[in-house]
Structure 1
């Protein structure tokens, strides 16, 4: 039976969250250039005019979505890196946290680690800035472990090792997406065998 009860009007922050949620799959699946503000507005159940009330441009919306997913990833990894246990145990927990993010936030991971980064110069610059900021935060979290291994965190050697681990985990995640029958634990074991070996060999005996 139809009613004439008025629909609940969403408050500004709630509508903004709806827009961010609608924008994530659009940017992650289609890429920055092909993303459509019209599709995002329709998915959020608003007009383009309402969308522009919250975000002045596609670029502004992209930056907000990118930042939101970066914070979620850092939260996943930070909790693991701050956990108790040996360095090896923390690194295993961190590898697992990264792959859990891939599993639980596939669109967020796809946005942060796209096969093809944005071509638009401004969007590409912001994407690179987010990646650089993530690397900076993770390097800070890894600093104590690096020093125990005799590495100065800001040294070329340490930065290269961090980059190898980051890119190795990204490659493992891409492989895992193509082999979804493999368990996360098995991928973590493989990542530890490949990536911990180099860093673990630096640990004091």
Structure 2
């Protein structure tokens, strides 16, 4: 109980803990999105409850609904934003300066940094748990196709210069192999995080650039 005394404030009148800072709308939304990425990545769409996301974000369900009308809308939103973030990082490497080999290395480095900094996003996009909703699963597959198409568009000029027939099946096969190798490398590095970053990138670059027969070449 707060005592009322003129000119005197007792120690019991002073809050033990300072009042919590009220979050701005943008901060609340960012927390909701971050919590949703982790929940959907690790539990899947069907097994994740909207209340679980709200609790992880430190907001009420009412506040969450102020930003997203339902779980489906939130799921679709985080898929789209994380997909765009991943493609932006990949594009930063592919379109970097230098020759083709330099860009191969830069692309691997960009992707590894993305998976290191956003492990839940990688899992959500590339190792998704089936949602139990055919339409949502089709959306996820569409993002995987978009990723492959975007990478194809970014590397096609370099591949054409080394003699790859872009109208043949070689282009999608090469993109699939390189993408799968990069993701496998990211998962391996997540299990061996003490391995120096530059050593991981250099070894992978030598393999992708030189091929297996010359993987030991500098």
Using the size of structure 2 for normalisation, the TM-score is 0.80
1:84 alignment partner, SS class: coil
Q: Please tell me whether the aligned partners of residues 88 and 196 of structure 1 are also in contact (alpha carbons under 8 angstroms).
A: yes
What residue number does 1:10 align with? 24
What residue number does 1:23 align with? 36
Moved more, 147-156 or 124-133: 147-156
- 2:66 aligned to which of 53, 60, 76: 53
How big is the shift at 1:16? Answer: 2.5
What residue number does 1:139 align with? 152
Q: Please tell me whether the aligned partners of residues 54 and 64 of structure 2 are also in contact (alpha carbons under 8 angstroms).
A: yes
- Quote the Cα distance in structure 2 between the aligned partners of 1:180 and 1:68: 26
Structure with the bigger RCO (C-alpha within 8 Å, sep 6+) is: 1
How big is the shift at 1:174? Answer: 1.5
CA root-mean-square deviation: 2.6
Using the size of structure 1 for normalisation, the TM-score is 0.84
Q: Please tell me whether the aligned partners of residues 95 and 188 of structure 1 are also in contact (alpha carbons under 8 angstroms).
A: yes
- 1:127 aligned to which of 125, 137, 140: 140
What residue number does 2:115 align with? 102
Structure 1 residues 88-139: Cα deviation after superposition (integer angstroms, max 9, x where no partner): 1111110111111111222221222226454432221111111111222121
Structure number, greater radius of gyration: 2
Quick one: structure 1 residues 148 and 23, their matched pair in 2 at CA, closer, same or farther if it must change by over 3 Å?
same
Structure 1 residues 169-193: Cα deviation after superposition (integer angstroms, max 9, x where no partner): 1111112222222122222233223
For these two proteins, the number of residue pairs brought into alignment is: 199
Q: 5+ unaligned residues in a row in structure 2: which ranges?
A: 1-13
Matched, 1:148 2:161: yes
Q: 5+ unaligned residues in a row in structure 1: which ranges?
A: none
